[in-house]
């Protein structure tokens, strides 16, 4: 029911021109891939250009964040409707860098997810523990809190359509990554909670993907886990050949 979902989070990399070149080149690499959902998340300044370059391809476009208000005196913020108009279909909310560096709380993540859904965007809701929390054996409790609070107020039908990204904070940009067994355990726990809180149908339909130093060398092992539905790729998504390789290795026939 769930085909693999591979998204590249470019963070604060790539100009408009670099974005257009990348999307067009990626389109050539993956034009025949019909069994993987492929998404790129450029900076705000490149969302529209990415969407134009991705027209008539199998590549979707995400923004990296949003603000939950529709409009107002919020200098520097971008609303869900603005992102939607620019051509995005998805938006990342709650990334650990937003939580750690910019103070996003579970409540803020919840408000952003609700705003995204209201504007017709699919939120990619990020959750994950720090190294200290893992060493204290608090991983599952942290995931419970972030999932419960981050998705508060959503219906089962809405949860079934979103993406949840498990990103252990200690594995983001560090070169370290969770083992397939660690990822599988966390993903199975998240799906169990989705089933308990939003219904079996929502849990079955919701994509739960892994993020944290994903590379062509480890994607096959990760996605072979039954509850790992894909990946949110950071550094390895900045080079088109590397990202295309991850997409190809995620195809069901390749597992």
What's the half-sphere exposure (Cβ side, CA atoms, 13 Å) at 188?
Answer: 9
Contact predicate 214/176, CB 8 Å: no
Contact predicate 101/134, CB 8 Å: no
What sign for the dihedral angle of Cα 99, 105, 107, 112? negative
Query: Is position 177 annotated as part of the catalytic site?
Result: no
Q: Catalytic residue, from 48, 95, 177, 187: name it.
A: 95
Q: How far, in Å, CA of 48 to CA of 60, rounded?
A: 12
DSSP state of 253: G
What sign for the dihedral angle of Cα 103, 138, 168, 66? negative
Q: Who's near 237: CB < 8 A, 6+ residues apart?
A: 7, 8, 9, 10, 40, 243, 246
DSSP state of 136: T
Query: Is position 167 annotated as part of the catalytic site?
Result: yes
Contact predicate 64/34, CB 8 Å: no
Q: Catalytic residue, from 167, 177, 187, 189: name it.
A: 167
Catalytic residue annotation: 95, 167
């Amino acid at each position: 029911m769930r085909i693999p979902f591979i998204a590249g989070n470019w963070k604060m990399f790539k100009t408009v021109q670099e974005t257009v070149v990348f999307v067009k080149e990626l389109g050539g690499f993956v034009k025949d891939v019909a069994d993987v959902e492929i998404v790129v998340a450029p900076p705000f300044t490149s969302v529209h250009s990415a969407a134009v370059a991705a027209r008539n391809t199998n590549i979707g476009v995400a923004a990296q964040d949003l603000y939950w208000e529709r409009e107002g005196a919020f200098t520097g913020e971008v609303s869900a409707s603005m992102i939607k108009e620019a051509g995005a279909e998805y938006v990342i909310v709650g990334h650990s860098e937003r939580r750690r560096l910019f103070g996003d709380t579970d409540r803020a993540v919840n408000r952003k997810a609700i705003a995204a859904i209201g504007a017709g965007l699919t939120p990619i809701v990020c959750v994950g523990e720090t190294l200290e929390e893992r060493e204290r054996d608090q991983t599952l409790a942290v995931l419970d809190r972030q999932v419960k609070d981050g998705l508060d107020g959503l219906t089962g039908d809405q949860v079934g359509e979103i993406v949840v990204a498990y990103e252990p904070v200690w594995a983001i940009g560090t070169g370290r990554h969770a083992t397939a067994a660690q990822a599988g355990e966390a993903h199975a726990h998240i799906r169990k909670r989705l089933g308990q809180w939003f219904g079996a149908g929502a849990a079955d339909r919701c994509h739960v993907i892994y993020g944290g130093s994903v590379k062509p060398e480890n994607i096959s092992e990760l996605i072979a886990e039954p509850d790992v539905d894909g990946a949110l790729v950071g550094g390895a998504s900045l080079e088109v050949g590397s990202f295309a390789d991850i997409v190809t290795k995620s195809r069901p026939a390749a597992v």
